[in-house]
Structure 1
Amino acid sequence: MHKINPPGRPFSGRPAKPRILLIARLLAVACLLLFVQTARANCTATMQDVNFGNVDLLNPGTLTTQAIATVTCTKSAARGIAQTFQVCLAVDGGQGVAGQFTPRYMCPSGASCTMTTANRFAYNMYIDASRSTIWGTTGRGTQYREMLNTPVSFSSTESVNATRTVNLTVYARLITPLSNVPPGQYTASFAGGSTALAFGTGSSCGSLRGIRFPFTVSATVVKNCNINKPNNIDFGTVNPGDTNLAGSTSLGVTCTSSTPYNIGLKPSNNNTAGAGEMLPVTPGGGNTDRIPYQLRSGSGTNGAVWGNTATAAQTGNGVGGTGSGLLQNYNIYATVPSADYHYGDYQDTVTVQVNY
């Protein structure tokens, strides 16, 4: 054990100076470690999924949605010192198409999404409510420098390790004209290196860091069919002895792409074989006549019968098709065997039913 003699007395044993120097060095290292820990800033981010919900391509309605990105920063300056972090959030084009920004794409859920993937669903994300400025990243050229950017400020009265959270709104919109994609679930994943956070304690965010905030963009395309009401079939003015009357009209059907459908025609008497009856428009006067007619999918008296046994799974005696997203036309024919009935106007109502 080393001893230190009182002042004015000679030393005995080895001098203690090396021990004093050792203590001084330990203190210096401790101060250095404390400085590094205090200066280490910290911000993190999370992001809600962007969900467009159910989308009807034939009747799209609202094409927009939004989500919230949340940034949390921890103060590293001591009490008595104010501190502001400038925070930026950046995203690329997403799953498999990192360089594609205008527009971005969702792909069929579970499919590998590339620039050549079929049935891609176009959308984009923006940093403003007017949806005019695309949310992008500084790493993809000047045209994609837009980022979510906000300051996170701490007052001087807050102590070190205090936290502050801010929410930033991300705006999204489906791109029109809407892609003619089949019904189903569509997604785009922003995982791995597709997102990055940058923050700095100055007036800029500094460089992007490996801090991620993964999220998913999704939409569900629902199947649907629209019917264009056909014109009436008018046999015109006929003589009592006329036979084999024929008339026709055109039916327009628009169904989402790849959607199978079957069309049935039902007269007001509910005859499943498309054999209807026209009744007097103005009843009375003892006229109880009913003029029979037959609905057909082919012209002439030998044309195929068009009835109402069709279902979503079976064509039956109806007419079937597969949607393309565009208008598809079908001719409806009707024949009357004989017009040998009382004078007057006759009519019937036929219901068109599209099963899908």
Structure 2
Amino acid sequence: MHKINLPSRSVKARALLITRLLAVACLLLFVQTARAECTAAMQSSLVSFGDVDLLNPGTLTTQATVTVTCRKSAASGTAQTFQVCLAADGGRGTIHQLNPRYMCPSGALCTTTTANRFAYNMYIDASRSTIWGTTSNVQYRNMLNTSISFFSSEAANTTKSKDLTVYARLITPLPNVPPGQYTASFADGSTAVAFSTGSSCGSLLTATRFRFPFTVSATVVKNCNVNKPNNIDFGTVNPGDTNLAGSTSLGVTCTSSTPYNIGLKPSNNHTAGAGEMLPVTPGGGNTDRIPYQLRSGSGANGTVWGNTATAAQTGNGVGGTGTGLQQNYNIYATVPSADYHYGDYQDTVTVQVNY
């Protein structure tokens, strides 16, 4: 009988392999037991105010849903209840205050020196009176919270979910900010979800925390409002009168930094602002039409104000840039001669603001 001796290095190799397998098994066991029992996620990862018209603000509120999901870690036959608490600070950036919170131009980091900031806040109640806070802020520690319970009859690893509502509101008065998208990012430690078998959100101070990122967003749209000007009244004139002149004032309010161009169009659609006044009461053989000229400057030689303006070109109109406040423009009209039939004459001029 032959005796074969295995090399000692083979025995060592086998022992090393067994040691590695044991290490991997221990690691997998650790990962399985360390996973979170409760997590949270903002639906669509967004709290959106949508389009906001600063000149004609409608609804300044919105709301979003956070879904909390818990996994039963207790064995079948044992009941289990989790107290879940959700916290949020002021958002990513150097502004950590909670009243108010701020959105800044999309892509910009919100700081105290950011030129355009949009104030808002988030609340845990539908009346929007209790600010959603965090334990790190002594004044605002009210958090979204709920409890999720499992019956003893439910098996381990069973999951349940609950929806919580976050309420939000823009802070008035609304700022004069340029059109564009404004956001606030809640990531990199700006949120926390904690759970425990305790009885209140106070356990958030010591419980294991997990993050749930989301973004607050609003899109400021450009717009212009026009105040209807008073009529230009040439008054009562004599047939021999010449060089009649009248004026009125036009008020235009456009969102901040919005370029606009104003055109004036008589009812005859003359592009150079040369209109005609017709008898108010037609008939009696009066077919006269009294010509007039719209101008942006006073007097018979004032600059003509017509209707070739577009959003991109001023043309023979008048242009400006919005500030969020009303800007006033004088409209002048001249009539060369009043040598026409007796009666009242008028015409309608359309103001067109292009932006």
TM-score by length of 1: 0.87
Match of 1:216 in 2: 215
How far apart in 2 are the matches of 1:77 and 1:113?
A: 44
Q: Is the Cα–Cα contact under 8 Å of residues 92 and 98 in structure 1 kept in the other structure?
A: no
Cα shift at 1:39:
10
Change (3 A) 1:70 1:338: same
- Partner SS for 1:193: coil
What secondary structure is seen at the aligned counterpart in 1 of 2:210? coil
Matching residue of 1:65: 62
Local SS of the residue matching 1:192: coil
Residue 202 of structure 1: CA displacement? 2.0
1:339 aligns with 2:338: yes
Structure 1 residue 42: Cα displacement: 1.4
Quick one: distance in 1 between partners of 2:352 and 2:90? 43
Q: State the partner residue of 2:109.
A: 112
Q: Does 2:41 align with 1:42?
A: no
For 2:242, the equivalent position in structure 1 comes to 243
Q: Is 1:165 the equivalent of 2:161?
A: yes
| 1:29 corresponding residue in structure 2 | none
Higher-Rg member (1/2): 1
Contact 2:95-2:112 at 8 Å conserved across structures: no
SS class of match (2:240): coil
- Decide whether the 8 Å contact of 1:38 with 1:77 is kept in 2: no
1:133 aligns with 2:130: yes
Please identify, of 77-86 and 268-277, the stretch whose mean Cα deviation from structure 2 is larger: 77-86
1:174 maps to 2:173 = no
CA distance in 1, matches of 2:283, 2:69: 82
CA deviation vs aligned residue, 1:70-102 (integer Å, no higher than 9, x gap): 111111222222111111000000021452111
Alpha-carbon distance in structure 1 between the residues aligned to 2:224 and 2:35: 59
Relative to structure 1, is the Cα distance of residues 44 and 152 closer, same or farther in structure 2, using a 3 angstrom cutoff?
Answer: same
Judged with a 3 Å threshold, the aligned counterparts in structure 2 of structure 1 residues 171 and 260 are, in CA distance, closer, same or farther, namely same
AA aligned to 2:191 is T
Number of the residue aligned with 2:227: 228
Question: Cα distance, 1:38 vs. partner?
Answer: 7.7
Q: How does 1:67-82 map to 2 (within 5 A)?
A: 67-82=64-79
Compared with structure 1, are the counterparts of its residues 131 and 110 closer, same or farther at alpha carbon in structure 2 (3 Å cutoff)? Answer: same
Q: Check conservation: 1:98, 1:194, Cα contact below 8 A.
A: no
SS in 2 for 1:330: strand
> Any conservation in 2 of the 1:257–1:325 contact (CA below 8 Å)?
yes
Structure 1: how far apart are the matches of 2:187 and 2:335?
A: 66
Whichever residue aligns with residue 46 of structure 1, its letter is A
Q: CA deviation at 1:210?
A: 3.5
Residue in 1 aligned with 2:269?
270
Corresponding residue for 1:124?
121
CA offsets 1:176-213 (integer angstroms, 9 cap, x no match): 11111100011110011100111111212413544100
Corresponding letter in the other structure for 1:201:
T
Letter in 2 for 1:322: T
What's the offset of the Cα at 1:112?
A: 2.1
CA contact (8 A) 2:104 2:114 kept: yes
* 8 Å contact from structure 1 (residues 131, 171) kept in 2: yes
Secondary structure at the aligned position of 2:262 is classed as: strand
Q: Aligned residue for 1:53?
A: 50
SS at match of 2:78: coil
Helix, strand or coil: the match of 2:136? helix
Cα deviation code 1:276-309 (max 9, x no counterpart) = 0100111111111110101011111111110001
Give structure 2 stretches of 5+ with no counterpart.
1-28
**Matches of 1:280 and 1:101, distance apart in 2:** 65
RMSD: 1.8
Provide the rounded CA distance (Å) in 1 between the counterparts of 2:218 and 2:175: 12
Q: Which moved further from structure 2: 97-106 or 220-229?
A: 97-106
CA contact (8 A) 1:39 1:76 kept: no
Give the conservation status (yes or no) of the 8 Å contact 1:124–1:173: yes
Q: Distance in 2 between matches of 1:40 and 1:60?
A: 46
Using the alignment, how far apart are the partners of 1:164 and 1:281 within structure 2? 76
Question: Is contact 2:92-2:188 (8 Å) kept?
Answer: no
- Does 2:182 match 1:186? yes
* Equivalence for 2:252: 253
Match of 1:7 in 2: none
User: 1:165–1:341: structure 2 CA closer, same or farther, 3 Å change rule?
Assistant: same
The 1:38–1:116 alpha-carbon spacing in structure 2 relative to 1, beyond 3 Å, is: closer
Q: Alpha-carbon deviations, 1:107-140, whole Å to 9, x = none?
A: 1111122121011111111000011111110111
Distance 1:38 1:338 in 2: 96
Q: Deviation above 6 Å: which 4+ runs of structure 1?
A: 37-41
Q: Report the counterpart of residue 315 of structure 2 in structure 1.
A: 316
- Select which of 144, 150, 158 maps to 1:148: 144
Q: Aligned AA for 2:48?
A: N
Partners of 1:99 and 1:347 in 2: how far apart?
61
Aligned to 1:85: 82
Stretches of structure 1 that go unaligned for 5 or more consecutive residues are 1-33
